[in-house]
Amino acid sequence: MAPSATHNDNEPLLNGSHKAGSEIPVAPLSSTTQTAIKALSVIRVATGVACVFAPIFTCGLFKYTVPVENSLLVRMFGVRDFVMGELLITAEDKKSPDGDRREIRRAIWTGIAVDTVDIGSVAYAVAMGHVGKTTGGLLGAAALGAIGLAAVGLRGL
């Protein structure tokens, strides 16, 4: 069966105004946006490295006691955070007219999604008595702080 309409390979598939070669460079990121994104990525990488190499010590900073036999789970969390931080660091493409802001946004939104789930998990753990309020508050505050930095970064993109 033949298609009802022909498609020109030079036209976009969706009706958009983007045409190849007509990209207009956007203004560079503000220093506030750059600082927020850089801080968020460095914090994620540092947290990830700390969880991988010193899981018991790192959890102790949040008043969370982890038995040695459960440190594998903390290391897995650390790898997740390290990868998300690295994704954010490498998302920018200075050769792209817009600096590849779409990829930066995707990396930031991924972090926001993960941090939101973390806050829900911490709230559940506190409500069920699995962790104390101090631990829950510290872990929740860390996730909320990451969301705040992400919001500052998104605002400037």
Terminal Cα distance for the chain, rounded:
45
Q: How far apart are CA 55 and CA 42, in angstroms?
A: 18
Closest CA to 30 of 40, 38, 19, 22: 38
- 114 belongs to a structural domain: yes
Contacts (Cβ under 8 Å, ≥6 apart) of 36: 149, 150, 152, 153, 156
**Per-residue pLDDT at 93:** 80
Q: Give the number of other Cβ atoms within 10 Å of residue 32's Cβ.
A: 12
**38-47, 87-96, 106-115, 132-141: least confident range:** 87-96
- 93 belongs to a structural domain: yes
Say if CB 27 and CB 46 are below 8 A apart.
Answer: no
pLDDT at 16 over 70: no
| Burial per residue of 60-81, b for 16 or more beta-carbon CB atoms within 10 angstroms, e otherwise | eebebebeeeebeebbebbeeb
Angle of CA points 87, 116, 99, to nearest 5°: 30
pLDDT (tens digit per residue) in 28-86? 888 999 999 999 999 999 999 999 999 999 999 999 999 999 999 999 999 999 999 99
- 5 belongs to a structural domain: no
- 10 belongs to a structural domain: no
**Per-residue pLDDT at 22:** 52
Say if CB 88 and CB 115 are below 8 A apart.
Answer: no
- 136 belongs to a structural domain: yes
pTM of the model: 0.80
Say if CB 40 and CB 88 are below 8 A apart.
Answer: yes
Mean model confidence pLDDT for the chain: 88
At 27, the pLDDT band (50, 70, 90 cuts) reads confident
- 86 belongs to a structural domain: yes
pLDDT at 133 over 80: yes
Structural domain containing residue 52: 31-155
**Per-residue pLDDT at 98:** 75
- 19 belongs to a structural domain: no
Higher pLDDT, 52 or 99: 52
Q: How many domains does the chain have?
A: 1
Q: How far apart are CA 109 and CA 152, in angstroms?
A: 12
- 35 belongs to a structural domain: yes
